[in-house]
Amino acid sequence: MSVLVGKKAPSFAARAVVNGEEIIENFTLDQYLKEKYVIFFFYPKDFTFVCPTELHAFQEKLEEFRAKGCEIVACSTDTEESHWGWLQMAKDHGGIQGITYPIVADTSKTISINYGVLWGDYGYDENEQLAATGPMIAYRGLFLIDKEGTVRHQLVNDLPLGRNVNEAMRMLDSLIHHETHGEVCPANWEEGKTAMNESHEDVADYLAKN
């Protein structure tokens, strides 16, 4: 599993479903460069159990993310047709109808590999036949990408462990605060709370007050 923090987010062009219904060719995160932050997250599979709870949770906060200049993009190794079909299924039946942000189809699994979140590996067996170990689906990876295309935060959960969307928002707020004010954000910092300058005096003062 690779650590991408501080590195450029791997570029790709792939099919995606946008606005809950339109399948487009060659979707890329490069369209947001210089303009938007991006939260790019992977989920394991369509038509599953934990995954729709996460997808709907991001949709509920979508306008709040966008108000802060951040776009949400999801991805799994399912096909675009599978994404589209799940998007037609009502929420009360386990579907993701109502999701409007892009959902990328990583059918080649190269996006998941490049982001270091693919569960499984390709190799050759004793008969020199290509084989896969593992289910070859994505872990619950999440990447916060800045406007320059650099990964500033990443989180990878195992399949049973759903993510906290409020924590993704907190990390975005932390990045925006640091870029705006030059301050660093201490443990459990939230928007509106006191941050710190990078000095021993400021750290000592902060710890004394908290």
pLDDT in the model for residue 203 = 65
Question: What is the total count of domains within the chain?
Answer: 2
| Inside any domain, residue 38 | yes
Per residue, what are the HEC states of the chain? CCCCCCCECCCCCEEEEECCCEEEEEECHHHHCCCCEEEEEECCCCCCCHHHHHHHHHHHCHHHHHHCCEEEEEEECCCHHHHHHHHCCCHHHCCCCCCCCCEEECCCCHHHHHCCCEEEEEEECCCCCEEEEEEEEECEEEEEECCCCEEEEEEEECCCCCCCHHHHHHHHHHHHHHHHHCCECCCCCCCCCCCECCCHHHHHHHHHHC
Note whether 157 and 183 are same-domain residues: no
Task: Assess whether pLDDT exceeds 70 at residue 200.
Answer: no
Within this chain, do residues 131 and 185 fall inside the same structural domain, yes or no?
A: no
Both 150 and 199 in a single domain? no
User: Are residue 138 and residue 45 in the same domain, yes or no?
Assistant: yes
Q: Percent of the chain having pLDDT more than 70? A: 95
- The pLDDT tens digits for 91-133 are 999 999 999 999 999 999 999 999 999 999 888 988 999 888 8
**Rounded Cα–Cα distance for residues 26 and 39 (Å):** 19
Find where tokens 């809950």 sit: 20
Q: Do 116 and 195 fall into the same domain?
A: no
Residues 125 and 61 in one domain: yes
What is the tens place of the pLDDT at every residue in 33-80?
A: 999 999 999 999 999 999 999 999 999 999 999 999 999 999 999 999
pLDDT at 208 exceeding the cut of 90: no
22 and 49, same domain (yes or no): yes
Report the C-alpha gap between 34 and 20 in whole angstroms.
26
Q: Is 5 part of any domain?
A: no
CB 202 within 8 A of CB 209: no
Domain assignment present for 1: no
pLDDT number for residue 73: 98
For residues 46 and 105, membership in a common domain is answered with yes
Q: Tell me the pLDDT of the chain averaged across its residues.
A: 94
Q: List the domain range (segments joined by +) for residue 190.
A: 164-210
Say if 8 falls within a structural domain: no
Q: Beta strand 37-42 with 70-76: parallel, antiparallel or unpaired?
A: parallel
Asked if 79 and 60 sit in the same domain, the reply is yes
Q: Contact, 43 vs 138, CB < 8 A?
A: yes
Instruction: Tell me whether residue 2 is in a domain.
Output: no
In a domain, 95, yes or no: yes
Q: pLDDT tens digit string along 129-169? A: 988 888 999 999 999 999 999 999 999 999 999 999 999 99
Confidence of residue 196 (pLDDT cuts 50, 70, 90): confident
Q: In terms of domains, do 208 and 113 share one?
A: no
CATH number for the domain harbouring residue 156: 3.40.30.10
Residues 103 and 22 placed together within one structural domain of the fold: yes
Residue 204 above 80 pLDDT?
A: no
The four Cα atoms 68, 69, 71, 72 give a dihedral, to 10 degrees, of -20
What's the CA gap between 61 and 137, in Å, rounded?
A: 26
For residue 1, the model assigns a pLDDT of: 58
Residue numbers annotated as active site? 51
25 lies in a domain?
Answer: yes
Taken as a whole, the chain contains a residue count of 210
- Domain final position from 127, 145, 161: 161
Q: CB within 8 A of 157, min separation 6: which ones?
A: 139, 140, 141, 163
Residues 24 and 83 in one domain: yes
Cα dihedral 32, 180, 178, 171 sign? negative
pLDDT of residue 193 exceeding 70: yes
Last residue within a domain, chosen from 126, 141, 161: 161
